[in-house]
Amino acid sequence: MVFLIECILNQNSRDIGAASYKAMNVKVINLCMKYHVGMVQIPCPEMTCLGFGRERKPGQSIRDILDTESGRRCCADLARIVGGRIKEYIASGNKVLAVLGGNPESPGCAVHYDGDTGRKLSGQSGIFMQALFRELSRIKIDVPFLGIRDCRSDWLASDLQSLELFFRDR
């Protein structure tokens, strides 16, 4: 199985104007179906921490507000829940292949690597993804984080190709 961000399965969770598809990213879903990979939806951290309207002061970005003490705490709380769920699945004999994150500019879910090993996230990553990475490290779970960049068709094509190779190898 993979743990994937809420908006891959439901683009309606995105901020107004940020959806790339009308309802869902069918290409990612089809790939999971093709390789019989279960999908566990991670609740959208922006909606969890800020509500659907992403309430914030004028001039404040979503990242600004997620990157505050209370925003980081909220992301850490969600990361603990998701980390606990991943741990339970693994303890029950399931194979969690990856965490699928979001676009490079996503305040909550961007995936950027620190170095070229592809195993450590940098501070450019979304605030929630960093929290989840820390939580998984804390509970000693090593699961790769893969960005699914659907804001550009060429990036998505490249990410789908990598994901298919990744699934094929497992």
Q: Compare residues 46 and 135 and give the one whose CB is closer to ligand SF4.
A: 46
Q: How far is the CB of 41 from ligand SF4 (least distance, A)?
A: 9
- The first and second tokens of residue 117, run together, are 């090993």
- The interface mask with ligand SF4, positions 100-139, x = CB under 6 A, is --x---x-xx------------------------------
Q: Could you say which residues in the range 74-93 bind ligand SF4, by CB under 6 A?
A: none
**Does residue number 44 form part of the binding site for ligand SF4 (CB under 6 A)?**
yes
**Does residue number 147 form part of the binding site for ligand SF4 (CB under 6 A)?**
no
Residues engaged in binding ligand SF4 (CB under 6 A) = 5-7, 13-14, 44-46, 102, 106, 108-109
